[in-house]
Structure formats: C-alpha cells, structure tokens
Chains A and B, each alone.
Chain A
C-alpha cells in the first residue's frame, strides 16, 4: 500500500472518531444547512453511543448470517447434501428479495419493537452474498487438488478443514465483506422500529426537515462503510496472497 493510501485511511479514521466523540467541533460546517435556528448538530443523544450500537447490531447479524450461510454452503457441497442445493438457493434468495422494510413490518408484531426485528432483517438480507461466495469458493477448488488429497488418505473432514476451506477462504471473506457493507446501510431503517442506531439521526432530520441531521447520520454511516470495506479487503488480500491468485480481483 502506498504512503498516500495509508495517510488517507488514517485521516478518514481520525475524522470519524473525532466527529462521533466531539460533534460540536463541526458545528460551523453544518450551521448553514440548519434552517430556522434549528440545532446544527444532533442533540437528542450521543453520536458515539448510536454508532456503537449500530456497529453492534451489524456485527451480530453478520456473525449469525456467516455461521448459517457458511454451514449451509458446506452442507450442500457434500455428497450427502447435494440434493438440497436448489432448495437452499431458493430459500436464501427469498431472504434477499424480501425488502428489509417488509421484514420489519412482519417481524414487529411477532417479536416486538427494538433490536430484534432489525436483527432478523439484517440476518436474512446478509445470507445471500455469503452463501453464494461459500459455494463459489468451495466448488472452485481444483479437482486435481482434491483427488490428490483423497489419494493421500485424507478423510472427508481433513479435506474440508485442511484443503477446501483454506482455499475457499478469500472468496468467503469477500462475501462477508459484501454482507457487512449492505447491513451497515440497511441497519439505518432499523430506527423506524426503535432499534438504537445511526438511522435515528437521519429520521430525526427527516421529521424536523433538518438537512444537517440527515447529512450527519449519512456521513457517519458512509465513513464506517468505507473504512470497514477497506479493512476487510486488506484481510482478504492477505489470505489470497498466499495462494498467488485472486489478488487482482480484490484489489
């Protein structure tokens, strides 16, 4: 990575940290956007606390999606599970085609307001990229490599853990990255059902017609997305570099 790229990332991170811990410092920049003497900086709660709970729900939902999608991906690529491939594909696809807002509408009567419905929506929405990438990664492993592994007396479990998963890892990580980025944005709508998150800032802005609020919420989410995308991409490249491939695709 070039020095300029490093400086740019560190600067973005610093900006984010300073903004969520001491947003008043930036009041001058947002003041022109706040009409009719409305506050320029979000004042109904701590930006830092909202950012942390936003990250928390994205993290929890992604962990759950990853666990299920990777397990499912492994299962349907085993001889025993192959016949379930079409079924799991359609299930996961349904998760993706359902708009998250519709999931919230259905989930609230069932589990009540708060974090739970948001978690369900993010979890369902995040399954598809991870599942498809797990499938792609596992089926991409060269048949020769697997034949050699079998010929040397590796059993199915050893082949999975020692050969297939390590080789599929960069592709699976790319799926997780995609899922995290989608969730970071989607989580903002969780605030419509009273989940703590950065969506609150945006919604407050929409309700009071305060562009400064909307921009603040959007900006923090965007910075988070860019930084996390970058960080995960870096991990992927490290995993891929060992294999001497995929490097160009993730760059």
Chain B
C-alpha cells in the first residue's frame, strides 16, 4: 500500500504540488490525470524521491520512504518515462538487466530473468536480446522500457506518460498489454497522463489534478456520476460522459434472460461496444454468448441505456 500524505513542493514562489494526499491499494492502477503543468510529474517523482518534497511524506507498506537510502528505494520502484530513456549504448538484454546488475544478481539469474521478460512482452529473445535501442520500433522500445522497469520485480511501478510517444493504433494495444501484464503480476501502478481516455481505460482509481491541487480522487464511475468540481466535469467531458460510463460496465451486468436473433455479443464486452454493435446492425436486441460461444441471454438497447445514467 502506498500512502501519500500532504505532499507539497514549491520552486521559488511557484507552488507545483499543493498538499496532495491519497492512498493506493496493493495491485491497483491509479492514474493521475490533469492538464500539463498541473504538477502530476512532480508528484510522481516525489514518490521515488527524484524530487525532494518540501512537506509531507510517502509511506510504502507503512514505511516512510525517507528512511530508505535513495538508490535502494529506486531499485525497489520501477520507473518508466515518456521516451523511455533506454541506454543507446547497451543492447536490449543489457538494458533490461540494469537494475538486477546494480543489485548484484549472478549472471545466470539475470539471463533467466531477461529471457522471461522478453517472452512476457512478446519480444523473441533470439531476435531482440542483442539488438540496440535504435534498431527497435517505437512500440518495441516502449515494451523494453517497461520490461526494464519490471526487471527486479518491483511491487510498485511509476509511469510518466508511458504511451505518450506512441501513435494511436499502437497505443491502444500497448495499454491492453500493460493491463494484461499488470493483472498477471499484480504490480501496483501509479501512472501519469493527460489523456482522459487512457485514464478511464487503465485506472482503477483516478486522481484529477489542476493547478498543483488534487481536485478529486475516485473510481472512474464516481468521477463521472459525482464530479467534485466544475473542472472535473469539464475534464471528463459532458458529451462523452454517458459513453464513458457505459465503457466501465460489461454486458454481464445488463444482460436479460431470453434470446434474440443475430450474431451474438460476448459477455465480457463493454456496454459501449455492445451499444455500438446494436446501432450498427440496426437491431433493438442481440443474443449474448459466453466465452465458449454458447448463448446465455440477450442484451437490448433499453437495457444498456439504463446504465448510461448516473442514477440508474
């Protein structure tokens, strides 16, 4: 568990982070979102003490981070930045091995870990281990950057705009991959972005920042239905709101008994996807199938619409 308590940072007369507190549960993904200059990155960098806070403290599993030597703390916290900062003079394998080497792991253990991570990120070790960063595509560099951050099995991963340098097509895939890997490893993630869609896609909780202050810290659904301030409401997008809400709920929750004609929708799809299918095919209802393809119910436009309003 990560507890952020009353963190503040000022540069001269300029307050960059103003009394921010929130708690991140184990295995959660928390997305810090806000306009540029809102203090998101500074907040993130105070967690691994790349920036020293003026006031407040950070507790990791109850332990004050200032009691841990800086470098040791950072060995325990994965860190991914926009542009990744891969070492251009080192191969992919050497890049990934950075923290294990700093920790003094033996060669065999490092080699095994590198191979494991390359497999996890769908990079064939035979092909990629000996390549240099400039020989990789943007998406591959991004995966190496995350793999490097995860090399020493940190319980906490900090990510600062990790998808910012990717084009939209690759970005969606990279986000899905990150979610899958996070579910598998159970790593706690604090991720900074200015992209609201990314925040809703990835976040178990979202922290909205503006002008150095934390405006609201809540689950995506709460953020949509009960925005704390006008700025939050504006940020989540008044027009987009119902669709974002639908994208947080799966077909399973709006399924009705009965049957319908047509191509079935899988039960794990989001209501937003289901509604899109219904509109596109011009049908009031479609059958729902489970993972194996067997029909288990139906989903209707009316049923979906009930979930698109805060008071439903």
Contacts and interface: CB of A to CB of B under 8 A. Distances in A.
Interface of A: 142, 144-155, 158, 163, 166-167, 242-245
Given A144-B81, A148-B84, A243 B71 contact: no
Given A148-B79, A151-B50, A152-B149, 17 more contacts: A144-B84, A146-B85, A149-B85, A150-B74, A151-B79, A152-B74, A152-B79, A152-B148, A153-B70, A153-B75, A153-B102, A154-B98, A154-B102, A243-B88, A244-B88, A244-B134, A245-B88
B87 interface: yes
Given A149-B85, A151-B50, A167-B88, A244 B72 contact: no
Contacts of A242: 89, 132
B89 A142 contact: no
Interface string B57-83: 000000000000011111100010111
B74 A151 contact: yes
Contacts of B50: 147, 150-151
Main secondary structure of the interface of A (DSSP, over half): helix
Interface string B262-299: 00000000000000000000000000000000000000
A142 B81 CA distance: 13
B84 A154 contact: no
Contacts of B82: 144
A148 B81 contact: yes
B191 interface: no
Contacts of B219: none
Contacts of B132: 242-244
B71 A154 contact: yes
Interface of B: 48, 50, 70-75, 79, 81-89, 98-99, 102, 132, 134-135, 148-149, 158
A152 B83 CA distance: 15
Contacts of A155: 71
B311 to A, nearest CB: 44
B134 A153 contact: no
Contacts of B158: 151
A163 B98 CA distance: 11
A151 B98 CA distance: 11
Contacts of B70: 153
A158 B102 contact: yes
A144 B134 CA distance: 15
A150 B86 CA distance: 12
Contacts of B86: 145, 148
A152 B81 CA distance: 11
Contacts of B79: 148, 151-152
Given A148-B81, A151-B50, A244 B71 contact: no
Nearest to A241: B132
A167 B134 CA distance: 14
Contacts of B81: 144, 147-148, 151
